[in-house]
A and B are shown apart, each in its own frame.
Chain A
């Protein structure tokens, strides 16, 4: 059972455009939702994270939108740059079990120059 569903699997955006990646979850006990960026051959790096008590969080060009009633959250990358080309993972965790993270399947983002 896939607890965090991520879409699309891949995404191609022109430089300067907006990249949008979506995730949905079923487990209402999840209370922490981070996004990670991973370049080939590297470990994931935390981009931005949100908790369900807010509907939006913005850090620079990266914004998370969170819809608690729909159990969905999304990552928006504004003014996308070729250097943003990477794989993005959404994740979720809940209290207990050491707050272990459950990851989505990932989205391969390609930003064309």
Chain B
């Protein structure tokens, strides 16, 4: 079964508003989670690494003030798209791996389809 849960699965918002996406590890504690963005028919692009208890690490070109990441607990990371615009419409996917396994399988949530009107 799923080991990473994401909510909501889809959301429609108006331009200028903010949207929060939750990512939970279901049966393990994740000190690190990853947030990806995927445009239609394209690959997954890493946006940022969410670290429990410290600031997120953003990839080059990703606006940290626009995409706020909070890793509030060992099982929950949130991504908030602030002042969303139509160009932010995309498929956002989080991922995590079981702790203590180094370079091991990364499990993905089922994604959140964001549409900004």
Chain B residues near A95 (CB-CB < 8 A): 102-103
List the A residue with the shortest CB-CB distance to B31. Answer: A98
Contacts of A113 in B (CB 8 A): none
Of A14-22, A60-68, A69-77, A101-109, the one with at least 4 CB within 8 A of chain B? A101-109
Are B49's CB and A89's CB within 8 A?
A: no
Contact assessment for A93 and B103 in the assembled complex, using a CB-CB cutoff below 8 Å: yes
Question: Do residues B32 and A101 form an inter-chain contact, with CB atoms below 8 A?
Answer: no
Give the contacts of B95-117 with A (CB-CB under 8 A): 95, 97, 102-111, 113
User: Chain B: residues with CB nearer than 8 A to chain A?
Assistant: 4, 6, 32, 34, 41-46, 49, 93, 95, 97, 102-111, 113
Tell me, rounded to whole Å, the shortest Cβ–Cβ distance linking B106 to chain A: 6
Contact B113 A41, beta carbon cutoff 8 Å: yes
Q: Does A45 reach chain B (CB closer than 8 Å)?
A: yes
What range describes how many residues of A lie at the interface? 20 to 34
* Ranked 8 nearest A-B pairs via Cβ: A43-B108, A32-B103, A99-B103, A43-B110, A43-B111, A105-B43, A103-B43, A103-B44
Q: Give, as a whole number of angstroms, the nearest-CB distance from B23 to chain A.
A: 11
Q: Complex formed: what's the CA distance from A84 to B19 in Å?
A: 34
Any B CB within 8 A of the CB of A13:
no
State whether B46 touches A101 (Cβ < 8 A): yes
Given A100-B34, A105-B43, 14 extra CB contacts under 8 A: A32-B103, A43-B109, A43-B110, A45-B108, A46-B106, A49-B105, A93-B103, A98-B34, A99-B97, A99-B104, A100-B49, A101-B46, A103-B44, A106-B43
CB–CB B43/A44 < 8 A: no
Q: How far is the CB of A99 from chain B (nearest CB, A)?
A: 4
